[in-house]
Amino acid sequence: MSIIIYAEQSGGKINKSAKELASYASALAQKLNTEVAAVSFGAEDPESLFQYGVNKVLNVTDEKFSTFNAKAYAQALMQAAEQNEGNILVVSSSNDSLYMTPLIAGAWQSAYVTQVISLPENVENFIVKRKAFSNKAIAHVKLTTDKKILSIAKNSFGLKEHPVEGSVENFSPQVDDSVFEEIKVVKVEKASGKVPLSDAEIVVSGGRGLKGPENWGMIEELADLLGAATACSKPVADMGWRPHTEHVGQTGKQIAPNLYIAVGISGAIQHLAGVNSSKNILVINIDPEAPFFKAADYGVVGDAFEVVPKLIEKLKAFKQNS
Amino acid sequence: MKILLLLSVVPDTTSKINFTADQTEFDKTGIQFVINPHDEFGLTKAMQIKEKTGAELHVVHVGPQMNESVIRKTLAIGADKAFRIDVEPKDSFFSAYQLAEFLKDKDYDLIIAGKESIDYNGGMVHGIVSALTGIKFVNAVTGLNIEGDKVTVEREIEGGKETLETSLPLIIGGQKGLVKEEELRIPNMRGIMMARKKPLEVLPAVDAPVMTEYVKFEKPPQKAAVKLVDKDNLDELIDLLHNEAKVI
Ligand SMILES: Cc1cc2nc3c(=O)[nH]c(=O)nc-3n(C[C@H](O)[C@H](O)[C@H](O)COP(=O)(O)OP(=O)(O)OC[C@H]3O[C@@H](n4cnc5c(N)ncnc54)[C@H](O)[C@@H]3O)c2cc1C
Ligand SMILES: Nc1ncnc2c1ncn2[C@@H]1O[C@H](COP(=O)(O)O)[C@@H](O)[C@H]1O
C-alpha cells in the first residue's frame, strides 16, 4: 500500500498547498508505516517535495497534460495509484482538486471526505475531523471503504518538514485523446502580479463601511505592504465596487489565512462563515457594537479613514526598523 | 431541450447550528429550510434558458417529505415538474447513486447542480453522478452559453477564470456568477398558485452503498475575547501582530 497525493503548482512551481498535503500525507504514512508518492504534472521543482516527506514524485511531462483537464487528470491519478498500490489519495481543496476528485470517488466507489482538518486519530477505524455547516461545526467522519480519498482544508494542517531521500520518475499515463477533446480549454485569464486570494497568508478585506470603490486605494496599499491579497463582503461585490472573485463568505470564497483584516465589515453570520477559520482576525470598525468584534482576536474601534492610513504609516516604520 | 436541476435543501444561512443531545445528528428543530444558494443561481439560469428556447425544466431531490415545501418553491419559480426520491440521504455517495439510478432511463441535455451544498459542504454529489453516468462535467461554473451544439462554459480557477468549449449532454456545478444577483427569481402569487397543480412525483429509493459514517458533531472551539487596541496606540497593535500572533 501507499499514499498518493496530487501535487499542484502555481506558475510552474510546486505550491504551498501541495507542500501542506505532503506534510499531511507523510504524517499519515508514518502512522501506517508506508510511503508517499506525489503526482505532478510537469512542475519544475518536484524535488522540493522531498523536504516534506514525499518518497517519490511521478512527474508527467507529456504535453497533452500541460493544462488541467479534470477527467484526464483523474485517470492519470488512478493509474498512478494502481501502479503504486496506492489506496489513500490526498488532494487539496483548490478548484481543480474539487472538480477532479469526485470523478475518482465515483470510479473507485470509495469514501471521499472534503474539508478535512485532522489526521485520523486511529488508523484502524479511520475517523477524521472535517469542517461542516460552513465552519459552524466540526464533524467526525469515518471512512468505511478500503480505498479512501481525503481533501484537506487549506491551512488546517500547516507545513511540517520531514526530509527524506526521494526520487523523481517520469510517468506516462495512458489517456484516450477523446477525453481531451470532450472538454477543451480555450482561454485562461489570471490576474497577474497580485497575490491570489486562496493562497494568501494575509488577506485585507473591505466592506460597505468604505463607502465607495474610490476608497479602496488604502486597502490595496495596506495589502501591498503586507504582501496580502484583497477581499470584500458580498454587498461590495454585488454593487460592483470590487470584482466578484473577491467576495468571501458562505456564498463566496471560503478562506483560512493566517491573518484576516476586516475593514468596515459588520460581521454578518454569512460573512463569518467564509472567514472564521482564519488563524487570526483583526477588525477595524467605527461601531463598537459591530458583531465582528465577537469573532475577532484583535480589534480597533475607529473610523477606517483615520485608522487605516495611520496603520500604513506605522507599518512602513516597522518594516524599516526590522 | 430538457433540463434537470439537482436540488439540495439546506438550512437558511442565518440558522444557528445545533445537534441532538448525544451530538450525533443535526437538530432540525426550528430550522427554516431553503433552496441551496448555489442551486438557486442554477435554477434562475435554467429558467432563462427555458424562456429563450422553450426547454422543459425538471427538478429532482433526494430527501424526506418535509422538504416538499422547498421543492414546491422551485415549481412556483417556474420548473415544470419535480421528483422526490423518498429517503433521508445517508451520505453523498448514497445521494449520487440515487440520482444516477434516476437518470438511467432519462435523456436530459443539461443537468444543473450547485458546486456544493452549504450544509455539509461536500461538493461532490454532482461530480460522483458524472462518474457513475459518464455524463460530462464542469465544476464551479460562473458562466454558461449554449448556441446550438456549441456550449461555452466559464469556470473559476485559482486566481482567475477559464473558458471551456464542450457539448451536451453536460452536468454543471454552478455558483454565483452564473446569473446576476439581481436576476435571481423569487416565487410570485401566480407562480405559487400554478405550482399546486404541477406534478411532484415521489419515487422509492434504491439500495445504495454508503461509504462514510458521521460519528459525531461538535462546535468549533470558542474564541477568546477580542483584544481591543486604542486607535491612537497602533504601535501596540503592530507589536501584538508581530510578537503575539507572529503574522507580520
Ligand atoms: C443567503 C445570503 C447569503 C449571503 N452570503 C454572504 C457572503 O457570502 N458574504 C458576505 O459578506 N455577505 C453575505 N450575505 C450578506 C450579509 O448578510 C451581510 O448583509 C453583509 O455581509 C454585510 O456586508 P458589510 O459588512 O460590508 O456591510 P454592512 O453590514 O452595511 O456593514 C458595514 C460596517 O461598516 C462599519 N462602518 C461604517 N462606516 C465606517 C467607517 N468610516 N470606518 C469603519 N467602519 C465603518 C459599520 O459600523 C458596519 O459595521 C449573505 C446574505 C444572505 C441573505
Ligand atoms: N439530496 C440531494 N438531492 C438532489 N441533489 C443534490 C442532493 N444533494 C446534493 N445535490 C446536488 O449536488 C450539489 C453538490 O452537493 P454536495 O455534494 O452535497 O455539496 C448540490 O448543489 C445539488 O445540486
Q: Give the CATH number of the domain where residue B111 resides.
A: 3.40.50.620
A209 lines ligand 1 (CB under 6 A): yes
CA-nearest residue of chain A to B182? A238
Report percent pLDDT > 70 for chain B.
100
Picking from B119, B124, B152, the nearest residue to A112 by CB comes out as B124
The distance of Cα B245 from the centroid of its chain, to the nearest Å, equals 36
CA-nearest residue of chain B to A317? B235
Question: Do B238 and A314 count as a contact with CB atoms less than 8 A apart?
Answer: yes
- The per-residue pLDDT for range A141-157, each reduced to its tens digit, is 999 999 999 999 998 99
Q: Write down the pTM of the prediction.
A: 0.94
A50, A162 contact by CB (below 8 A) = no
pLDDT of residue B159: 84
Q: Is residue B198 part of a domain?
A: yes
CA distance A236 to A271: 12
**Residue A296, all three cell numbers:** 475577532
Question: In one letter, which amino acid is B88?
Answer: E
Question: Do B124 and A139 count as a contact with CB atoms less than 8 A apart?
Answer: no
Specify the domain boundaries for CATH 3.40.50.620 within chain A: 2-182
pLDDT of residue A194: 76
Q: Which residues contact B64 (CB under 8 A, 6 or more apart)?
A: B86, B87, B88
Which of A148, A199, A298, A321 to mutate: most B Cβ within 10 Å? A298
Helices (H), A35-94: 70-83
pLDDT of residue A135: 87
Which of A77, A103, A239, A308 to mutate: most B Cβ within 10 Å? A103
Question: Do A96 and B158 count as a contact with CB atoms less than 8 A apart?
Answer: yes
Chain A residues near residue B137 by CB distance under 8 angstroms = 70-71, 99, 103
pLDDT of residue A199: 80
- Average pLDDT, stretch B40-57? 98
CA-nearest residue of chain A to B238? A315
Fold for domain A197-321? Rossmann fold (3.40.50)
pLDDT of residue A196: 83
B116 lines ligand 2 (CB under 6 A): yes
Q: Is residue B29 part of a domain?
A: yes
**DSSP output for A291-316:** GGGGG-SEEEES-HHHHHHHHHHHHH
Q: Are strands B110-114 and B160-166 parallel, antiparallel or unpaired?
A: unpaired
* Full strand arrangement of the beta sheet holding B2-6: A184-190, B160-166, B150-157, B136-147, B170-174, B110-114, B2-6, B56-62, B81-86, B200-204
Closest by alpha carbon to A37, among A75, A4, A81, A13? A4
Per-residue pLDDT of chain A (322 residues; tens, 9 = 90+): 899 999 999 889 999 999 999 999 999 999 999 999 999 999 999 999 999 999 999 999 999 999 999 999 999 999 999 999 999 999 999 999 999 999 999 999 999 999 999 999 999 999 999 999 988 899 999 999 999 999 999 989 999 999 999 999 999 999 999 999 999 999 999 877 678 888 899 999 999 999 999 999 999 999 999 999 999 999 999 999 999 889 999 999 999 999 999 999 999 999 999 999 999 999 999 999 999 999 999 999 999 999 999 999 999 999 998 8
Residue B169: asked if its preceding bond is cis (omega within 30°), the reply is yes
CA distance A38 to A59: 8
Closest by alpha carbon to B112, among B192, B180, B171, B36? B171
CA distance B129 to A288: 48
* ipTM over the 0.90 cut-off: yes
pLDDT of residue A134: 87
Q: Is residue B74 part of a domain?
A: yes
Q: For chain B, how many structural domains are there in total? A: 1
Average pLDDT, chain B: 96
Question: Do A299 and B217 count as a contact with CB atoms less than 8 A apart?
Answer: no
- The per-residue pLDDT for range B80-119, each reduced to its tens digit, is 999 999 999 999 999 999 999 999 999 999 999 999 999 9
pLDDT of residue B225: 94
Q: Is residue B224 part of a domain?
A: no
Helices (H), chain B: 37-53, 68-77, 92-103, 125-133, 189-197, 234-239
CA distance A107 to A105: 6
A271 lines ligand 1 (CB under 6 A): yes
CB-CB neighbours of B197 under 10 Å: 7
Report percent pLDDT > 90 for chain B.
94
B37 lines ligand 1 (CB under 6 A): yes
C-alpha distances in angstroms, B100 versus A182, B65, B84, B117? Answer: 21, 21, 14, 18
Closest by alpha carbon to A41, among A17, A64, A16, A71? A64
Question: In one letter, which amino acid is A214?
Answer: E
Q: Is A156 on the interface with B (CB under 8 A)?
A: no
Range of the domain at B108: 2-218
Question: Do B157 and A188 count as a contact with CB atoms less than 8 A apart?
Answer: yes
CA-nearest residue of chain B to A113? B122
A102 lines ligand 1 (CB under 6 A): no
B124 lines ligand 2 (CB under 6 A): yes
CA of A209 to the centre of ligand 1 (A): 8
B120, A97 contact by CB (below 8 A) = no
Q: Is residue B230 part of a domain?
A: no
Place of cell 454569512: A270
Chain A residues near residue B163 by CB distance under 8 angstroms = 185-189
Specify the domain boundaries for CATH 3.40.50.1220 within chain A: 197-321
- The per-residue pLDDT for range B125-146, each reduced to its tens digit, is 999 999 999 999 999 999 999 9
The distance of Cα A322 from the centroid of its chain, to the nearest Å, equals 30
pLDDT of residue A191: 77
Q: Is residue B58 part of a domain?
A: yes
Question: Do A298 and B227 count as a contact with CB atoms less than 8 A apart?
Answer: yes
A40, A46 contact by CB (below 8 A) = yes
In the CATH scheme, what is the homologous superfamily, with its name and number, of domain A2-182? HUPs (3.40.50.620)
Ligand nearest to the CA of B118: 2
